[in-house]
A = this chain, B = another copy of it.
Amino acid sequence: MNTDEYLMKKCIQLAQKGKGYVSPNPLVGCVILKDGKIIGKGYHKLFGKEHAEINAGLDAKKHGYELKDSIVYVNLEPCSHTGKTFPCSEFLIKEKVSRVVIGMKDPYERVNGRGIFNLKKAGIEVKCGVLEYECKKLNRFFIKYVTKHLPYVSLKIAQSIDGKIALEDYTSKWITGEKSRKYVHKLRSEYDVVMIGKNTAQIDNPSLTVREVRGRSPYRIVIDRDSSLPENLKLFSDSHRSKTFSISGISKRAVTNIYSKNIIKVREKDQKIVLKDILKKFYSMNISSVLVEGGANLFSQFIKTGLFDDIYYFIAPKIIGKGISSFENFKINSIRDSKQIEFVNQKILEKDLLIYCRNVHGNN
């Protein structure tokens, strides 16, 4: 690992601190080097607030340094447009930095190379593509959001080694262990939205909040086509109820439930809600990431449509036998028609095994 890579890794680490707070903006970290010394560090902390480069620059100045002739490391191309903040590339030009090392080009159409172009035009040396793979992985939510105009979708499935997410009677409590549950809570803190289907809401009555780790709780969205879910469910009655939305085919006016203000109306087709319409709606709501937590019905729809990006499979060292499988309502006629995924990595979580899989066929 050379100096550029080492400092880019620092940027990535800084950027990660913004997880859960900057969406739909990208995660960005910035390190400023001068005379072989790190003089400033910063990251994008909160949506709408200062970008990483500005924060790093302010950090340097606070400690009495000028940015002139410094080298700026940043995991994403500095922006070129005036959005909620002053364009970062202009800031770096104004401060007369000598070199900018970038992890990846910003795929957002309003930037997409213009930041790099402006820097170069101002005579600043630019290097782009350092730890590019890692930088793209870091900002997979953002990339999907700005290039496909859809949120990034992850399925979270907890099952026994023999592939059961619940017993025949739908009992599913405590299949996986404590460390897996903590991991799930950490995931929730990083996604904009946790989504579940109607049956899961009714049978499990889950909270879907972040409790076992520090972090903010996500929005909770439940599919409730005919708006008939009882309002005493935790989702609609606990202290986070203002962060619950239900997706319905019925317009707000037709619903008189207490939680009617939080209804997201999606058009129906043959008395069904089309999954892609939900995701498009999410995009329009600035939602860039969705963690789908069940049940078999909703999982099956994601597999049928291919509208998911990855799967977190939490496997418990248990054998359940008869029970409910994750993709119960998906049916193929030949093994050739099975949906291909890719095993990216595995991790032991106490007694459980986490298998992280990527969708390889998805036209996401």
Contact = CB atoms under 8 A, between A and B. Distances in A.
Copies in the complex: 2
B300 A357 contact: no
A52 to B, nearest CB: 36
A2 interface: no
A107 interface: no
Contacts of A171: 334-335
Interface in A316-358: 317-322, 325-335, 338-343, 346, 348, 351-353, 355, 357
Nearest to A319: B339
A189 to B, nearest CB: 26
A163 interface: yes
A283 to B, nearest CB: 25
A232 to B, nearest CB: 25
Most buried by B among A172, A173, A346: A346
Contact of A164 (B167, B325, B355): B325
A331 B320 CA distance: 7
A161 B357 contact: yes
Contact of A341 (B300, B317, B322, B326): B317
A175 interface: yes
A318 B343 contact: no
Given A303-B319, A317-B343, A319-B338, 6 more contacts: A171-B334, A300-B321, A319-B327, A321-B327, A322-B332, A342-B351
Interface of A: 159-164, 167-168, 171-175, 300, 303, 311, 313, 315, 317-322, 325-335, 338-343, 346, 348, 351-353, 355, 357
10 contacts: A160-B163, A161-B163, A161-B357, A168-B331, A175-B335, A303-B319, A319-B341, A321-B330, A322-B327, A342-B351
